[in-house]
Structure 1
Amino acid sequence: MIKGKAYRTYLLILAVSFMVIGLLLAGSGASIAEASSREIIELKASGRQGAATPVNITLKGKPVKQQGIQGKEGVLVPLELIRKGLKLPVQYDKNSKTYTIQRQNVTVQLQPADIGAKAIVDGSTLVLPYEWKEIDGMPYVSIKVLTDNLGYTTEWDEKTKTLNLVPHRLNNIKIHTKTISKTLPEATIKVEYPQVSGLKNKGAEEKINTLLQSRADSFVEKSIKEAKESQPSPNGSPYEYLGNYMVTFNRKGLLSILEQTYAYTGGAHGNSIREGLTFNLKDGKLLTLDEILKGNPNYRSIVDPVIAAKLKQTEGYFGGFETIGNNANYYLKDDGVVIFFQLYDYLPYVFGFPEFYFPFSELGVALK
């Protein structure tokens, strides 16, 4: 387990990178599901983000009784709204002080703490906690719990100041988390990776699971080799390696996963790498961005100028961006794609992973 200075640095990297996402995305203006979408930033900029500022909530255009509030990083909704308004099972375990929310085959566990609610999704521990607040004994959590994990997207009506929740049917599959943990004299290693079940095509299921497991095994093998060959570290401490993942899209026969690995081998900070994996559940094929956006072969003429402009507007930009090329890093999210770059590709380390969101509607593509 990562701990101490290395762990704190790791969390800082991720926190900064997610914050930067909000500053760089090229959103459609239709969603305020997350702090990274454009409307949330506009709400903050206009000074309407007071901690207890109410937000009207509708479900598929129909009002629900409970209201949300504007939090520090986006809209917060009461768990009572999730239970009564959305009619999702919400259970509380007094012993573990854990709230459990379920939708279809997805289970989200929330463990509130001073820094927010730690989230465990289908056995996978998310690195960053969700914003959490209690008002008059009523718990509120970031709406990102719904949009990140439970198949909801959102629409913002500026005129009525109303956030509309739109539920989508998730793929009828199950995802569970496997863990590889090793403690060596030279290093500690922990990797969480997903495995899927319930696919009609068992060959496709095996193909996906084999790839996901082989990626985790490969990371562990490379970590062990590096630790044994490179120790001792500059500060004399063991190396630390971590791998985790998050499911970002799980519908319409597609499964998109964002993997992140982290390595601390001494020095001021560690290094992280992200990779997006999007699978066609019918045949288990790993899809490129060209294949996802085949409805518009000229999509680069849309995304390249937007990304170039955003990067040039960012202080510290190294220069050099011309096009995302043929093998862009991406993952699916909400109703669009997120194109991203690695640390140091075009911006200083402190900016984290630059990410750019493009709705399918802006790209002239519709997922069937």
Structure 2
Amino acid sequence: MNMNPFKTMTYKRTLASILAASLIAGASPAAFGFPAIEKAAAATAVQTYRVVPQAFIIDDYKYSIPTINIYGSTYIGIRSLNEKLGLDITWNVNSRTITLDGRGRKLTANPEDGSYVINGQRTYGDPALIYKGSAYVPLRFLLERMGYGISYEKGSKTVVINTIEENELTVALGSIQENNDKQTLLVNYPVIEDLKDKTVAGKINTFLKQEAESYAAAGQKDLTKATATNASYIKKNPGTTFPKVTFEGVFNVTYNEQGRLSLYVDYYSYLGGAHGMTFRVPYTFDLNNGELLTLKEAADYNSKYLSIINASINKQIKERKLTLLAPFDGIKSNRSFYLKHEGIVIAFEQYEYTSYAEGMPEFVTPFEAFE
């Protein structure tokens, strides 16, 4: 299998952009990690939320469930999830963490620092919160990682949740790591297990491991260079201190249906400056042969797939009232993408069209648009 031909930029260009953006943002040695973690302190500082009943349809049954809207996201009480979705949910008094168990997944949320761990891997999203003795979690973030589809019916103002019928496989955790007092490297990558076709599983696993090793090697090179640069600065400016430089890879499986597997790896690099940067590398596999799908193949070979996706993105930009750094000029056929239950996803890279605060906005074009 060849290296992924659908990346929008090479690793070398990406890391150079990350370093430049970090330096432009400021020379302060303060490091913040992934943007979502920065919201954890804000969550604890806010004292009052408005809890409102929201209409839900969960696997064809109607419910009214208390929700909170914060950060532009809908939060739902985990007690309701326990009752309606059948997830096993526990609260650990000692670690003050919430654990949700079900569908072959185990997700632990820490409301105090905003972190999540799913099947042994730390991941990132808007932080969970405790309000008036009840725990709330961001609905879409949680459901997409626990194997549920979510949509919204505007007419009836109803949130619709469906249990997804997934391919028979499990995803284990592989990792590459190196840690010392100056720098930290941790690259996680998925390992496909329990797939009936062992040859296909082996093909995909070999490719993903090679990809992880390639990114880790390039990341290590940049960490070493940044560490030397910091040491040189400290020598000239005694008393100056810098946090560890960091390179981290975290994967997220976004689609495991209809004989296809889609995921992305978020690579976060902090090399100095006011904050780190994240770039996203997606992969979508055909589980029949282990090959990567092109965007055109994912769009069912529709001859107008690019214009359909570009029109969809433009519409969503207007509906969401996104402020762009530059006009959106459309995607090309080699654009990176991934799949979700609802459709094909195009994500903007940080600073590609939007500010750092916007993160990496996702734009979903429904599969039905290509029929």
TM-score of the alignment, normalized to the shorter chain, above 0.5: yes
The C-alpha deviation readout for 1:13-57, integer Å capped at 9, x for no partner, is: 8879xxxxxxxxxxxxxxxxxxxxxxxxxxxxxxxxx62111132
**Whole-angstrom distance in 2 between the partners of 1:14 and 1:318:** 27
Cα displacement (A) at 1:202: 0.7
**Aligned twin of 1:353:** 360
1:142 corresponds to which of 138, 144, 148: 138
CA contact (8 A) 1:308 1:322 kept: no
Q: Give the aligned residue type for 1:108.
A: L
1:333 corresponds to which of 312, 333, 340: 340
**Aligned twin of 1:44:** none
- Gaps (5+ residues) in structure 1? 17-49
The C-alpha deviation readout for 1:235-267, integer Å capped at 9, x for no partner, is: 544532111121212222222112111222223
CA contact (8 A) 1:329 1:341 kept: no
Cα displacement (A) at 1:214: 1.5
**Aligned twin of 1:11:** 34
Cα displacement (A) at 1:129: 4.1
**Aligned twin of 1:272:** 278
The C-alpha deviation readout for 1:49-97, integer Å capped at 9, x for no partner, is: x621111323223124x62313213333222222222222223444433
**Aligned twin of 2:268:** 262
1:125 corresponds to which of 122, 138, 143: 122
**Aligned twin of 1:80:** 79
**Whole-angstrom distance in 2 between the partners of 1:124 and 1:267:** 27
**Aligned twin of 1:232:** 229
CA contact (8 A) 1:154 1:166 kept: yes
Q: Give the aligned residue type for 1:318.
A: A
**Aligned twin of 2:206:** 210
1:318 corresponds to which of 310, 316, 326: 326
TM-score using structure 2 length? 0.76
**Aligned twin of 2:238:** none
**Whole-angstrom distance in 2 between the partners of 1:70 and 1:110:** 17
Q: Give the aligned residue type for 2:108.
A: Q
CA contact (8 A) 2:97 2:111 kept: yes
**Whole-angstrom distance in 1 between the partners of 2:122 and 2:144:** 13
**Aligned twin of 1:25:** none
CA contact (8 A) 2:125 2:141 kept: no
Which is further off, 83-92 or 345-354? Answer: 345-354
Deviating 4+ runs (over 6 angstroms): 13-16, 309-313
**Aligned twin of 2:349:** 342
Q: Give the aligned residue type for 2:326.
A: F
CA contact (8 A) 1:55 1:162 kept: yes
**Whole-angstrom distance in 1 between the partners of 2:134 and 2:301:** 46
The C-alpha deviation readout for 1:161-180, integer Å capped at 9, x for no partner, is: 43232111222211122232
Alignment of 1:200 with 2:189, yes or no, is no
**Whole-angstrom distance in 2 between the partners of 1:123 and 1:351:** 28
**Aligned twin of 2:102:** 103
**Whole-angstrom distance in 1 between the partners of 2:207 and 2:109:** 29
Give the share of equivalent positions with the same residue, in percent. 26
CA contact (8 A) 2:36 2:125 kept: no
**Whole-angstrom distance in 2 between the partners of 1:308 and 1:63:** 33
- How many residues were matched structurally? 323
Change (3 A) 1:309 1:190: same
**Aligned twin of 1:45:** none
**Whole-angstrom distance in 2 between the partners of 1:14 and 1:252:** 34
TM-score using structure 1 length? 0.76
SS in 2 for 1:232: helix
- Gaps (5+ residues) in structure 2? 1-27, 40-48, 235-241
**Whole-angstrom distance in 1 between the partners of 2:135 and 2:91:** 12
Q: Give the aligned residue type for 1:260.
A: D
Q: Give the aligned residue type for 1:215.
A: E
Q: Give the aligned residue type for 2:211.
A: R
Cα displacement (A) at 1:160: 4.5
